Amino acid sequence: MGRLMQDVDADLVRRARHGDEKAFGQLVQRHQRFAFNVACRVLGERSVAEEVTQEAFVRAWRALPGFRGDARFTSWLYRIVHNLSLNRLPSLRRELRMAETPEELLADNGPSPAASLEASEKLEFLHAQLPRLPRKYRLVLTMRYLEEMTYQEIAAELDLPMGTVKTHIHRARRLLTDRLEEWETSGTAAERDREED
């Protein structure tokens, strides 16, 4: 997030802390999409993600007078979203502490490719694979790539050792490269079969 965006947020937060609903409304407009996506990626269901986003903003509003402003508003808001999402999925906390071998997670490989493997198609394939990843991987990847948190910040937020966070991110990426490799291989094979016909 840019400096200007942060300054605007800080000003809106200052006003909202004193009960200015319009200022908070602007914060909602600015951040609802990201907050909704954070919830949606972890929870997987739009309707549940909507409820969690709504609840997160209401909680943020209620607690705003106590928000000291030494953290970014978005970091604080996403933390509320994470906590509410984890509350909805009580087993996720346990899953985050467990480390399966990637082979155990390879069961769902998704659709096979059609034929040619253009870069945009690869990207499309990978984007289609992301929601199929185990939810604990979706959570850490969202924190890393959407919220741009460091490994250390993720570890602190989820109360996990940093090594565990790194392992989850490594395995998630490995899972995706394996799926991409399989997809490329099967795509190349299909193309070769067609050429032979």
Partner 1 sequence: VANRTIAEINLQAYLDDELEPESEAMVRQRLAASAEARQQLNRLQEVNAALESWPLAAEPPQLSRRIMAGIRSSPQLRPFRVRWADLAAGAAAALLYSAATLLWSRVASGGQAAHTTAALARLARLGVAAVRSAQNAASDPAVACGLLSTAAALVTAALTLPFWYPTLREEAVSLLGGQAE
Query: Site residues (CB under 8 A) for partner 1?
Result: 19, 21, 24-25, 28-29, 32-34, 36-37, 40-41, 46, 50, 53-55, 57-58, 61-66, 119, 122-123, 126-127, 130, 141, 144-146, 170, 173-174, 176-177, 180-181
With tokens 């193309």, the residue in question is 191
Q: How many CB atoms are closer than 10 A to CB 77?
A: 25
The residue among 94 and 111 lying less far from partner 1, judged by its C-beta, is: 111
The residue among 91 and 185 lying less far from partner 1, judged by its C-beta, is: 185
The residue among 36 and 82 lying less far from partner 1, judged by its C-beta, is: 36
In angstroms, what is the minimal distance from the CB of 158 to partner 1? 18
How far is 138 from 88, CA to CA, in rounded Å? 15
How far is 166 from 125, CA to CA, in rounded Å? 24
In angstroms, what is the minimal distance from the CB of 130 to partner 1? 6
In angstroms, what is the minimal distance from the CB of 161 to partner 1? 16
- Token pair recorded at residue 84: 């509410």
In angstroms, what is the minimal distance from the CB of 141 to partner 1? 6
The residue among 32 and 109 lying less far from partner 1, judged by its C-beta, is: 32
In angstroms, what is the minimal distance from the CB of 159 to partner 1? 23
The residue among 119 and 196 lying less far from partner 1, judged by its C-beta, is: 119
How far is 117 from 129, CA to CA, in rounded Å? 16
